[in-house]
Amino acid sequence: MIYHLLYPLSSIFSPFNVFRYITFRSIGATLTALLISLLLGPPLIRKLKEMHIGQRVREDVPERHLQKEGTPTMGGVLIILSVIISTLLWANLTNFYIWLLVGAMIAFASVGLWDDYRKMTRRKGISGKEKMLLLLIVSVALALLLFFLPGFDTKLSFPFFKGLRPDLGFLYIPFAVFVLVGSSNAVNLTDGLDGLAIGPVMVTAGTFALFAYLAGHYHFANYLHIPFVKGSGELSILCGAIIGASLGFLWFNAYPAQIFMGDVGSLSLGGTLGTVAVVTKQEFLLALVGGIFVMEAISVILQVAFFQWKGKRVFRMAPIHHHFELKGWAEPKIIVRFWIISIVLGLIAISTLKLR
């Protein structure tokens, strides 16, 4: 909105020409989302407390989690509002991908909101099968929308390999669905400690802000041997908004947390980042920079599979962050170390730009 109001006036007042630059508007979106989340955070926490919307702690988690019972949850609403408002303020609203990502965020958030609501009203969320079905419906709809978009590229892109670009054709649809469902579930599984998930989310969003900008610039994309996706540069603004909103949320979510994001936050953030990866043709890069999410998801898969096969556990508890808790690691230590790993993975992902 700001772009459409002020940039046309650049012919009259030349400083308004700055609004043409995606980099400037990305920073504006980041700071705006941060400000919105910081301002809305306290009243939202108070309202959630008044409505008795608090965390229900499972009986099978480490004992020290019992003290978190009743902490306001569904804080992901704060992130979503901050991201959408700041994105609509700073982005070019004629860009199709902006509306696609806003729609994807709302759709994935709706699944999480329904799950959180059920937990609050019936003390038990929707079943795993119901959640998976809803995520599949959303993901299939997004995959089909992109697949039938004129000029959409169904070729894969691999980090470290500039010439390896196999074309999946119609098979790209189930592949994209796998990426979207996987990313939303992986972030959801990671969200188990105060501030644990939001750190890697910011690193992933920052990495994709760079890749989206480069993918949307014809000359940069060709020089760096990454797929050129016309119009994808505007997604840098949305990624910037995710960083700002996440920073504001972290202000209240840092240990000991005043609020949790809930499924409405984790599913929407995971699904949105997965959609950005699909649009920018960097699906495998998502697995690299989001390695923490992948590790958490694989730990659950291994735990379940091995227990069904041998009747034994691979880890003391899954997801793997609970394994380290039961080994005696303090919660802040686990969180910070996972963040460090995420930052390293982000740097490696960025380095692939020159290693293709």
Distance CA 106, CA 85 (A): 12
Say which residues have a Cβ less than 8 Å from residue 298's Cβ, sequence separation at least 6: none
Distance CA 288, CA 324 (A): 22
Rounded to whole angstroms, the Cα distance separating 122 from 120 reads 6
Whether the Cβ atoms of residue 303 and residue 128 lie closer than 8 Å to each other: no
C-alpha span between 76 and 81 (Å, rounded): 9
- DSSP string spanning 126-155? --HHHHHHHHHHHHHHHHHHHHTSTT---B
pLDDT at 187: 97
Amino acid 283: pLDDT: 96
pLDDT at 66: 60
Measured distance CA(185)–CA(267) in Å, rounded: 6
Alpha-carbon dihedral 98, 104, 105, 106, rounded to 10 degrees: 110
Global confidence as pTM: 0.95
8 A C-beta contact, residue 198 and residue 336: no
Residue 63 neighbours by CB distance under 10 Å: 9
Res 196: pLDDT:
96
Looking at the DSSP bridge assignments, the partners of residue 72 are: 54
Q: Which residues of 10-28 are buried (b: 16+ CB within 10 A; e: fewer)?
A: eeeeeebeebeebeebbbb
Segments of the chain with pLDDT less than 70: 56-66, 356
CA distance 342 to 28: 25
pLDDT reported for residue 57: 65
Strand partners for 54:
72
What domain count does the chain have? 1
Q: Where are the alpha helices (DSSP H) in the chain?
A: 2-6, 22-50, 76-90, 96-122, 128-147, 172-190, 198-215, 218-224, 235-253, 262-279, 283-289, 291-310, 320-326, 331-351
| pLDDT computed for residue 14 by the predictor | 83
Q: What is the pLDDT of residue 1?
A: 80
- Residue range(s) defining the domain that contains residue 310: 2-354
